[in-house]
Structure formats: C-alpha cells, structure tokens
Structure 1
Amino acid sequence: MAEGDAAMPAAASSCEVDLGNLMAYDPSHHLAAAATSREELRQECLDKGAELAQAVANALFALPPSEDRDGPIVHLPPPTIRLPREKHLPKPKPPTKWELFAKAKGITKHKKNKREWDEQTQSWKRTYGYDRVNDDKDIPIIDAKATDEPGVDPFALRRQEKKKRVEKQEKNRLENLKKAAKLGALPSHIQLAAKALPVTGTKADLPKKSRKEDLENLPGEKPPKHPGKHRKFLPVAEGKGMGNLEKQQNDKILNSLLARNSEQLDVSKAITMYKVKKEKQRRKDKVMSSK
C-alpha cells in the first residue's frame, strides 16, 4: 500500500481510525468495573483489541482500490496523528573556546570563495593551489623600483626568493625533528597509536632469536615482556591427509588421565624404563673403571 491523498473514511463505531499509521483507538473507552482477576482484565483487553483491528480492516476495505499488474492496491491517506520520537531531540553542542571568544569580540566567519577573478588573465581561477590567482608564472610585467640594480632580471630574482623561502621552511622542519628527537617525542609525520609503542619495543629483539648462535643482549636492551612459547591451536578446517587431529588430542588427554589413576602395569613402558636405567648404570661403571 502506498500513501496518497484519498480521504479517510469515517469509522462506523466510536473508534477513531488513522489509516496513515494503520492505527485505531477509542477515546471514550473506560473499564466498567475493576477486574477481579488478571484473566478477566486480559480477556477484556483482547476483546477491545479485536474490535479496533476490525475497525481498521473495515476502513481499509472501504477505500477505493486501483488496478495494478500485481493486483488491486489502495492508497493510504496521510497520517493524522503525530507519533512521538523514539529518542529525545538532539541537544545543541556547547560552544567551543574560540566560538565564545569570537562572539565576545564580534568576529564573524566568512566562507572563502574557491574561485576568484584574475585581472591579469581576465578569467576565473582557483584561489589557492595550482593555476591560482596572481600566480608568479602569470605575471607578464613587474614594475621597476628605484632600488633595483641595473642588469638584474626581476623574474629570476622572484624565482630565487621563492626558492629561498622553500629552503628555509625545510630547514625549520628538520630543526623541529631534531628538537623532538632530543625530547624523546615522535616526529610530527609519524602517527602511532597508544598501544603501538610497547608492541614495537617487544618486537625489536625478535630477529636474533631465529639464529642458531646465542647472542648476548645489547647494553640497555630490555628483556622481552612475553617470554615463552605460544600455544598452537588446531586449524579450523583440516586439510587432506591430516586426519582427525581433534580426536587424537582428546584421546591423548583421556589416556593420560586414565593412566594416572590406573593400577594396571604397562609392560612395554616398564621394560623401556628398565633398559634405560641399566644403560645409565653401565655407563657410570665404565667411567669409574677408567679412572
């Protein structure tokens, strides 16, 4: 159903119907007497709800239908009842420190134009950036001054001054980086999260662990915060030829628990332990005899 400008039909009963919201209500309804039990109150509410639903259905069938390829449809009238919002109205944001200062001083914000009229080229150009207004490359004539030296190209002098300004800005940027490095702060062009610094510190000494030779820690190097091996979890999807690893792991744990509390003798394990013990004793006797 779609909204339209059709008139809302009047309900036959005392119920008022709002077809725009598909809602019906009875403003004059009141309970005849106090309900003696919860079941009576529930039944009365169900009866009244059925009456209101029937009123909405009667009003819908009274609307003039229109033919469509999907079947007959009716256009709902606009809603007559304004439903309340789910959430409260948005509160205005508190003014910032600059907004309070600008209001006290009477400073008004003016939106800058992105394009301006260039008198030199007689065309509209960008205010800032490439091909902007009053660009140095678009100046055809430079007025001579009394302080100009003869034989000096004013255009070359203008380019040289711009080059000096760029070099000065780069020099200031490098000095700021040096000052930040002395204070232990990060440069402005490096953006790291708060949790990225300790992670970076713990991963600094990991490459030497992969080598066979045991290297000593460098002076001032901190030990790793998370020593030890990490747990190896089973894969989510087992590949071809891997077998049921989860079942094997569970069987191994179950067998170890049963063997711990079992009084049965493992013959093969006992023989192996006896052979190992006998071999150790033989080596010990051999060392003593050689002395």
Structure 2
Amino acid sequence: MSAQIENSIPLDFDLGNMAAFDISPLDETKLSGSEKESFLFSLSRDNVQQLVNKMISLPKERTSDGVLLQLPETVTPLPRAKPLPKPKPETKWQRFARIKGIAPKKREGRLVFDEASGEWVPKWGYKGKNKELETQWLVEEGEKEKKLTSKQVRNTSKKIKRSRRH
C-alpha cells in the first residue's frame, strides 16, 4: 500500500504536527514553464506520500472509534495568534482571605435530580422539589413539630382557634 519515493534531500518530519518540510531546491525551469501545475502537483503528492508512509509506521491503538495513531511529541513549536494572558493581580479581599485561610463557599446548584420522574427539577419554586409534600395525601410529622413542648402546642392550638373565630 505504501509507495517508496526517493528524494535527493530527505524530508524533515514533524509527526506530532503531522507535517513534512521539503528543503530541497525547486527546478526553476519547471516552475516557469507550462508544466508548473503538474510539477507542483507531483512534488506535493510525493511529499504527502512520504508523510503518510511515516505516519503508518507509528504505533497504533484499536478503540471502539477505530484505529488511532499515537503521535510523538511535536518538534516544531507553533506560534500563538495572541500572547499568553498576564495573570490578574490579586485583590485586597483575595489577599486577606488567603492570609486568614478563608475558603470560598461552595454553592450548590439550583437543580436536583427527581428519582420519581427521572428528571432534573428546581429545588424550589414553580414545579420545584419543595412542592412534592403538597401533593402527597400523607405527610409524616417533621423534626420541628416533634420537638415542640406541650406549652408550645397549647399556644399554637389557641392561635388556630382564634384564627377560626375571625
């Protein structure tokens, strides 16, 4: 499947970037003549064939996605379009928090997974997880209600009676 191609000067390969560099001089007569297109096409075809031959010789790995080649480290560094961003200076609060050992709060997300419906729903609000108790016909007594003293129970029952009178 691979074709052997001979060049007077061998190509420089950067397999990490999948690139080949041909430093051999071009034939000026072929470039200026009517064969310019065919000359450049054959030259680039030969160079690409050599690059493919080198790529095929790399170690391969079979995955569910197909056959993957393990590329070596790059030889030629590629330039960036823009310079690396400079780190932002630390604010007074960040410096104070670092010195005092204050860690930022970890905020929990607004959504929770509802196992009954199998969907992510809001914790509170419209169609929220907190509305779940309102739709149930039987709700267990919560911890707060269990801890009420008898005096608190009497006071709450009096409040309920008063509110019914009005």
TM-score of Structure 1 vs Structure 2, range by shorter chain:
0.3 to 0.5
More contact order relative to length (CA 8 Å, sep ≥ 6): 2
Structure with greater strand percent = 2
